[in-house]
Each structure stands twice: as structure tokens, then as C-alpha cells.
Amino acid sequence: MSQQEETTLGSEEELSIRRDLEENRERLSALRASCAQICESVLQANSIPFHSVKSRVKSFPSIFEKIVRKKYKPDLFSCTDVVGIRVICLYPSHVDSIVDLLRQQFNVLEVVDKRPQSDPERFGYNSVHLLCKLRDTSRSTLPEYAPFADVVFEVQIRTILQEAWAEIQHRLVYKSKVAAPNEVKRIIALLSAHLESADMHFQDIYEKREAYISKLKQAGMPNLEDEPLNIDSLLETIRRQYPWADGWETIAGKQLTGFLTGLLGDLTGLKITTVRQLVTLLEKWSVQSLQASKKRLEKKKAEDDPSLASQYGEWHKRTGHYFLPIGLVRNALRREFPDYDAKFTAPKGPAPQK
């Protein structure tokens, strides 16, 4: 629009919006934190892998600029993304799943799907935007949520590659097709297509891995033993060897992948490359490793070790063991290979009790 058509706001209106933001900042920050926590909890409860959940309360200059640019009513809450949440997932197929899950948590007023449909030169970021309020349920009637019952907030859902593209493009000079010269436009279109293709390839990899994990879970032991050792067959083998250890993966948490990768590297270095080889070794030293784990727990109890009061304490008490299953595997490796600790210099814990 021309400069003559541009909407302007008076100083009193600007001051009123600024004052409203400052007066509501604490409550808006609380809403931001609560909504972000709800999103994270939903993803975790439904086992949806995600990169992060970001959140913010929009700054006054951004709010004011948007109200002017969009010709909104000069009121703080005419801007529907004063509170913004961004859910960054890993795979395209999870975007719609997350939308469905958030519909159950929030009162979704509007869904804006900004993912590309047919325009190969489409500029702008790809994501799904939800305009939401807290649902008219017991949550919105709780004292801590009551002040936000009528506040509209925005939730954006996109993949990690879409997030990377949006971050880079946000800093480019060219914000639209008409702004870019043809040679730059072609490069941007090509890059956009590559990123979209990469997203689809990651989705394909994810689906193939999920199918492989499902096959491992359904396989009988003879078929499982025919598998080469990889991070998925290693985890399935450990689960079957130590079924009593249920809950250990939760204790390992975000370190689980690192634990498995390190152990797999050790096994490969020792030329143990199949499930059958590993199972044979674990069964050979099963009694000794389990006994060592129980003795270690008794020793820790006698010492009143503070680690037993940590998050692992309940697991130790329930199972009667000190070593997590990965520790039991390493214990067996030390018994089979006396030079194990010398060969693999990473700290592996105390030597086994023979």
C-alpha cells in the first residue's frame, strides 16, 4: 500500500498498548510457560519424537508493527500471537498427528496450513499455525488459568528442516518472489525443493526403521539371533535378556542412545557382530554378572550410598540390582576379555567382582 494509505496510530494508542503489555506481562509469561509445558507433555505421552518446543511473549515493537501493518484494532489482544509456541518435530508425518493431539488440549479457533501445495517457487516458511484458547474444561477454571480463559495464543508446528529454512530465509534480503532477481529466485526454488525432498527422505528412513523395529519385536529368538548387531537389534536383545529390568530405559533417558552407541562400538571392536554371538556370551556369564550386580547393591546399601536415594533408587529397590542392563553386558565383556578396560579407554565403571 502507498504511504498515504498506511495506517498510523496516535501516541496515546501506542502508550495504551505498551501499558497493557507491561501490566499483563507476568500473566502472559505464565500462559506461555504453561502452554509450552502442555505441548511437551502431550508429545512425550504419545511417544512423538521432537526436537524442541520454543515459546515467547512477543515484544512491544513487534506487536505494534503488526497492529499497524495488519490494520488491527489498536488493542494489545487484537494481535493473536502475543503468546507464541513453536513445536519443532522431526518428521513430516507427525505434523498432522500433533495438530490432532493439540485439538484435544486446546480450543482451536483456526488452522492455517502454510505448507506448500503446488507452487514450486513458493516463498515463506512452511508450517501449520493454530490459533487457540484454553479449552472450556476444568483446566481453564483453575485459578492459575482463569486469567487466560479469553486470551488467544498461537501454536506453530513444523519439522526441523522447515525450521532451518525459515530461520535462514528470515535473514535473507529477498522476502518475496518479486523482490528477487531471476538467478537468485532459481537458486532459492531449487534449495526449497531439496529441503522438501530431504524431509520426505527422512520420513522414509523413519518409517523403514519403525518397520524394522516392529519386525525385531515380533521375531522369535532363532530369527533374532540371525540379525547383525546394530543399535536396534542390540536394544531388543538386551530387553529379552533382562526382562526383569523393565523401566531402565526411562532411567537412562536421553543418554540411552549414547550408551547403546558406545556399547555397540565396543562390541564391534571385539568382533562381536551378530546377535547370536552376543547372546552366547551373555548366557555364558549370566550368573556371575547378576551376582556381581546384587553384591554391588548390597555394598552400596551398607555404605548408605546417596545414589540409592536418586531417581534410580526405586528401580534398584524393585529389581534388587545395581547395574543397569548395559552395565551387565559390560560386566560380561570384562569377564570374557581380560584386557577389555585396557583396550577401550572410555570409563566403564569398576572391574567385576569374581
Mean pLDDT of 258-272: 96
Closest-CA residue to 194 (of 165, 159, 169): 165
Q: What is the pLDDT of residue 3?
A: 39
Task: Give the tens place of pLDDT for each residue, 175-188.
Answer: 555 667 878 778 87
Please tell me the least confidently modeled range out of 29-33, 184-188, 276-280.
184-188
- How does 20-57 read in b/e, with b if 16+ C-beta sit within 10 Å? bbeebeeebebbbebbbebbbebbeeeebebeebebbb
Question: How distant, in Å, are the alpha carbons of 28, 29, 56, 63 from that of 59?
Answer: 12, 12, 9, 6
Nine-digit cell string for 227: 540379525
- Sketch the domain layout of the chain as residue ranges: 11-196, 220-343
Residue labelled with grid coordinates 548395559: 326
Question: Cβ neighbours of residue 319 under 8 Å, at least 6 residues apart?
Answer: 244, 245
Q: What is the pLDDT of residue 176?
A: 57
Q: What is the pLDDT of residue 165?
A: 84
Q: What is the pLDDT of residue 123?
A: 42
Identify the residue with better confidence: 61 or 189.
Answer: 61
Nine-digit cell string for 348: 566403564
Mean pLDDT of 192-205: 90
Long-range contacts of residues 57-66, Cβ cutoff 8 Å, at least 24 apart: 57/25, 57/28, 57/29, 57/32, 57/82, 57/83, 57/84, 58/82, 58/83, 58/84, 60/17, 60/18, 60/21, 63/17, 63/21, 64/9, 64/14, 64/17, 64/18
Question: How distant, in Å, are the alpha carbons of 17, 119, 129, 165, 243 from that of 111?
Answer: 27, 20, 6, 21, 44
Task: Give the tens place of pLDDT for each residue, 83-121.
Answer: 999 999 999 999 999 999 999 999 999 999 987 665 545
Mean pLDDT of 66-71: 90
Mean pLDDT of 291-301: 94
Identify the residue with better confidence: 27 or 215.
Answer: 215
Q: Checking DSSP bridges between strand 83-89 and strand 153-159, what pairing results, if any?
A: parallel
Residue range 11-196 forms a domain whose CATH class is: alpha beta
Task: Round to whole Å and give the CA distance between 155 and 95.
Answer: 12
Mean pLDDT of 193-200: 88
Percent of the chain with pLDDT over 70: 86
Task: Give the tens place of pLDDT for each residue, 299-313.
Answer: 999 988 887 877 678
Closest-CA residue to 56 (of 156, 187, 200): 156
Task: Round to whole Å and give the CA distance between 354 and 338.
Answer: 12
